[in-house]
Amino acid sequence: MGFRFLNIFHEGLMPKLPVISGKKLLKCFLRHENYRLVHQHGSHVILLDEKINKKSTIPVHQNKDLPKGTLKSILGDFDLSVEDLLKIIE
């Protein structure tokens, strides 16, 4: 008799982190009323979430997809879950 692991990461239970470019992510954030562009330094755009008064930097390098770690960091800066992000980019 073997020990069975419960797979809590089964499809449908937790949504996957989307693959998205910095440019598209920036456009999606700016469509929502509580995100405002503070300033830009080269290819890095600083956004402010006016609702929670927190900033995050979004790299907009040509049309390249954001690395997963960078996207997770942006979500953490704005206290967003993957579900929240999916609602924003719809």
Q: Is residue 6 part of a domain?
A: no
pLDDT category at 12 given cuts 50, 70, 90 is low
Q: Which residues have C-beta within 8 Å of that of residue 17, sequence separation ≥ 6?
A: 68, 71, 72, 82, 85
Domain holding 60, by residue range, is: 22-89
pTM of whole model > 0.85?
no
CATH code for position 58 = 3.30.920.30
Instruction: Specify the number of domains making up the chain.
Output: 1
**Residue 7 predicted with pLDDT over 60:** no
pLDDT tens, position by position, 13-63: 778 999 999 999 999 999 998 999 999 999 999 999 999 999 999 999 988
Q: Assess if residue 57 is contained within a domain.
A: yes
